[in-house]
A and B are shown apart, each in its own frame.
Chain A
Amino acid sequence: MDWGAIFNNAAGELISPTTAAYALAALGLAVHFGYTGLLNFGQAGFMALGAYGYAISILTFGFPVWGAFLVGVGASVIFALILGIPTLRLRADYLAIVTIAAAEIVRLLFTTNAFASVTGSANGLSGYKNEFAALNPLADGTYGFGPFENNAYDTWLGIVAWSIVILAALFVWQIMRSPWGRVIKGIREDEDAVRALGKNVYAYKMQSLILGGVLGTIAGMIFALPRAVVPSNYQTTLTFFIYAILLLGGAATVLGPIIGSMIFWVLLSFFSGFIARAVEAGWLPFMTVVQGSQLRFILVGVAIMLIVIFRPQGVFGNKKELAFVR
């Protein structure tokens, strides 16, 4: 068995743009769920809006990269307003129901044949990478070393993606230690108490919903840049993976989502490489290669369960905080 290749691939995931995209989406969810207590189950919808907003702006309207970026962000702000205006005055559970449904509506709208000329229907969209690649200041060739060796496009994308993640993490870290963040965390604990102290809870929840949604949208764009935009990528399972990453790292932390995303992708890549080769080598005689590729998700699930059972606050969560969880 080629252990070297398995570990090589797994290590490569550590800093891949996809890992960055999941980290950013999980950071958005940390703002929603970890800090504000908003149960957003539609992060996949925000990501889809980012990916499609970017791709459609470039392919159909010929926008420059920054214009496409703004279209995606604008779409997610509008999406957050549509979700938030009717539901943020209600109990927390309603937001969960509405977001999970809205994310599915978004995905199905992108899948339906009615708009196939713009959205590419179930086949999705591709061929929108040139504009981003044209901004690449790096000369052709390979960069990095060992498992982190990439071509110029992937290196450029990686630099941009992780820079955005770092900036977003600093941004979230700063606002959460400010009085604004204190109000947000107060809302998570008891919004009536915060309202009684003269804070406009509704406006704060809306700001949080938009902020986390925009982070998810930018994550959607990063997620789309190494691959094609396919609607089936944005199913509710995507939201649940991001929740898994968030809980893995620690819900009300800034570093948690980032490290959680790295752990998640390294584990996923390791298990996928390991199982595929184990099946080939005949170690798992009861299993076909196709079945093996599904087994990795089961193993990742088991790994996450173990972490949640033995370290329920996540990697970076505060153990003291958890002692009081109702």
Chain B
Amino acid sequence: MSVNTVPVLPTGPTGKPIKTTDLHVGEAEPGCKKRDPILVVDGVRRTFGGLTAVDVDHVEVPRGAITALIGPNGAGKTTLFNLLTGFDKPDAGKWTFDGRPIAGVPAYRVARFGQIRTFQLTKALGLLTVMDNMLLGAKGQSGENLFRALLPFLWRKQETDNQAKALDLLTRFKLDTKKNDYAASLSGGQRKLLEMARALMSDPTLVMLDEPMAGVNPALTQSLLDHILNLKAQGMTVLFVEHDMHMVRHIADWVIVMAEGKVVAEGDPHEVMKNPAVIDAYLGSHHDEDIGEDPAAEVEHVSAITELLDDER
């Protein structure tokens, strides 16, 4: 895949992005089979003391599509992310990426296989320039070996190529004018963009975004959405965690819903919202009883769900 060509966004006649459909086999139920899964998770469990944060029996992420991982706070979405990317170790479970078992593989090797993640709290490397941030993302750099680092002629050409590629990506993300600035001087939204652009330097096959929209102002949201849609257009698979339901419905081809560590529902973004299990997950099956939950959070979820149901009509 070349980064020099910017594909035209796949949008339908109404200006809405074209969804990838026909991803699953059989009923759209938790753990259902996908036609072409890129990530297959089996029996992954992670406990923190007495709390079971993640307990996923089986879930498959379809290739070449945008999959959203949603669920109320504390559902175990980020923990699952950390497990799948090698940043945390599960108590039990196996998973494969592109057919290759990667359970217990350290995070840096997972990334080298082409499964690149971003973080909920953006990790721009503040006291490095934007360009250095980008160059750090490139894979297989011979100058990253201590001994070869001493002999610049061994890596000069690769470095120049990487710089050209980085500049190209920065231009697409409208950060090219900032390339010599410290990343710490960027705004929150620009840092999100930088983190995403940096992840693309390694030509990943699966991009995992942990709340890409958190803390981004509305003006930048649209551009971020377009960038995510672009990833799909370039043949990458995207798995993202998000709370903003509008965004999920707008760009996701498939939605996986987690609650209390388990996958409770899966399906097409429009269908899944009507699933009673999802409403349960967000509102609780006994939402009319006082179970000592934070009332403000509950009101928030109620309004989110009603908003979505309104949207649907």
Which residues of A come within 8 Å of B, CB atoms? Answer: 171, 174-175, 178-183, 185-186, 188-190, 192-201, 207, 211, 320-321, 324
Contact = CB atoms under 8 A, between A and B. Distances in A.
Given A179-B155, A180-B145, A195-B107, A171 B125 contact: no
B159 A179 contact: yes
Given A175-B150, A324-B127, A196 B119 contact: yes
B155 A178 contact: yes
Contacts of A201: 108
B233 interface: no
Given A180-B149, A182-B136, A194-B136, 17 more contacts: A171-B150, A175-B146, A179-B155, A180-B146, A181-B149, A182-B132, A186-B125, A186-B136, A188-B127, A189-B127, A189-B128, A193-B119, A197-B116, A198-B111, A198-B116, A199-B108, A321-B182
Interface in B149-188: 149-150, 152, 155, 159, 182, 184-185
Contact of B108 (A178, A190, A195): A195
B125 A189 contact: yes
A175 B144 CA distance: 9
Nearest to A178: B149
A201 B133 CA distance: 16
Interface in B244-292: none
7 contacts: A175-B150, A179-B144, A180-B144, A181-B149, A196-B87, A197-B137, A198-B112
Nearest to B112: A198
Contacts of B223: none
Contacts of A195: 87, 107-108, 111
A94 to B, nearest CB: 19
Contacts of B132: 182, 185-186
A118 to B, nearest CB: 34
B149 A190 contact: no
Given A207-B146, A321-B182, A186 B128 contact: yes
A197 B111 contact: yes
B150 A324 contact: no
A171 B201 CA distance: 29
Given A175-B146, A188-B127, A196 B202 contact: no
Given A178-B155, A185-B132, A186-B136, A196 B125 contact: no
A18 B127 CA distance: 33
B141 interface: yes
Given A179-B144, A179-B159, A198-B112, A185 B127 contact: yes
Nearest to B116: A196
A179 B202 contact: no
Contacts of B139: 198
A7 to B, nearest CB: 39
B103 interface: no
Contacts of B136: 182-183, 186, 194, 197, 199
Contact of A324 (B111, B184, B199): B184
B235 interface: no
Nearest to B208: A196
Contacts of B150: 171, 174-175, 178
A174 B143 CA distance: 11
A174 B137 contact: no
Contacts of A179: 135, 141, 143-144, 149, 155, 159
B67 interface: no
B85 interface: yes
Contacts of A174: 149-150, 152
B128 A185 contact: yes
A88 to B, nearest CB: 14
Contacts of A211: 146
B5 to A, nearest CB: 24
Given A178-B155, A189-B126, A324-B182, A196 B146 contact: no
A178 B143 contact: yes
Contacts of A192: 87, 119, 123
Nearest to A325: B127
Nearest to B141: A179
A204 to B, nearest CB: 8
A198 B109 CA distance: 6
Contacts of A175: 146, 149-150
B142 to A, nearest CB: 8
B123 A182 contact: no
A137 B230 CA distance: 69
Interface in B97-133: 106-109, 111-112, 116-119, 123-128, 132-133
B63 interface: no
A222 to B, nearest CB: 23
A182 B117 contact: no
A182 B135 contact: yes
Given A190-B123, A324-B126, A324-B184, A196 B85 contact: yes
A193 B123 contact: yes
B198 interface: yes
Contacts of B119: 192-193, 196
In this complex, the member of A182, A186, A200, A320 whose beta carbon has the largest number of chain B beta carbons within 10 angstroms is A182
A321 B137 CA distance: 22
